């Protein structure tokens, strides 16, 4: 991930990862993070129903390399708002993993495909989040204790992983096409300005 302190503003609007961030890039990154945060807060009363996965997938598909700045800024803001704890450590690898998966398949434009990816990610989220519990258990009682701690934590959350899976699948299936059209308009508008 790029360090925000190392980024320089390029007033010409360059979009290459190897060049500097433009003012428009920085504004779009801020808007993407704000959309994720507002969506997350709006659905905070609904356990494991979230738009974060949806937005990270869509932003990766349509805004490409800018996601490299969006994810760490989002994670840092989450830590600043809610405090740093085990869930925050999980965010350090779970969200970048989702973005990496999306990046590998970014040429796919099927709503069903992305709904399945998003659903599988929701289903696997609990397993991904059990990793710190493995480390804690292993550090205090050895490898077997680590496995017990991780598996116990993961199994306890499996019903919520199914909710997460279903929510992610339905959200992506319903919102993929309308949001895709809107993002294409934004991108076409930006390209017309350059």
pLDDT in tens, 147-194: 999 999 999 999 999 999 999 999 999 999 999 999 999 888 766 655
Residue 10 pairs in a beta bridge with 22
Sign of CA dihedral 80, 83, 87, 89: positive
pLDDT of residue 190: 67
Q: Could you tell me how far CA 29 lies from the centroid of its own chain?
A: 13
CATH 1.10.1760 fits 4-193, yes or no: yes
> For the segment 6-29, what is each residue's pLDDT rounded down to a tens digit?
444 343 444 444 567 889 899 999
pLDDT the model gives residue 14: 45
Q: Could you tell me the CA-to-CA distances from 1 to 99, 100, 128 in Å, in that order?
A: 12, 12, 20
Other residues' Cβ atoms within 10 Å of the Cβ of residue 144? 10
Residue 5 has pLDDT above 70, yes or no: no
Spell out the residues 6+ positions from residue 8 whose beta carbon is closer than 8 angstroms to its own. Answer: 20, 21
d(CA 106, CA 119): 17
Tell me the whole-structure pTM to 2 decimals: 0.86
On whether the CB atoms of residues 117 and 102 are closer than 8 A, the answer is yes
Beta strand 9-10 pairing with 21-22: parallel
Are 123 and 167 spatial neighbours (Cβ–Cβ below 8 Å)?
Answer: no
Q: What is the pLDDT of residue 15?
A: 46
- Which of 48, 133, 46, 35 has the alpha carbon at shortest distance from 77? 35
Average pLDDT over residues 102-110: 97
The model's pLDDT over 85-97, given as tens digits with 9 standing for 90+, comes to: 999 999 999 999 9
């Amino acid at each position: 991930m790029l360090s925000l302190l190392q980024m320089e503003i390029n007033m010409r609007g360059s979009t290459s990862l190897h060049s500097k961030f433009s003012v428009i890039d920085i504004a779009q990154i801020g808007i993407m993070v704000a959309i994720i945060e507002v969506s997350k807060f709006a659905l905070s009363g609904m356990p494991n129903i979230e738009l974060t996965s949806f937005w990270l997938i869509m932003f990766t598909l349509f805004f490409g390399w800018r996601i490299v700045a969006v994810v760490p800024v989002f994670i840092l803001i989450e830590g600043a708002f809610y405090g740093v704890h085990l869930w925050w450590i999980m965010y350090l690898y779970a969200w970048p993993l989702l973005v990496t998966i999306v990046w590998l398949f970014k040429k796919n434009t099927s709503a069903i495909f992305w709904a399945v990816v998003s659903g599988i990610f929701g289903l696997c989220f609990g397993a991904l989040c059990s990793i710190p519990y493995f480390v804690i258990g292993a550090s205090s009682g050895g490898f077997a204790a680590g496995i017990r701690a991780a598996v116990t934590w993961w199994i306890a959350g499996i019903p919520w992983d199914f909710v997460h899976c279903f929510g992610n699948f339905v959200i992506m299936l319903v919102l993929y096409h309308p949001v895709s059209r809107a993002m294409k308009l934004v991108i076409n508008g930006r390209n017309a300005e350059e």
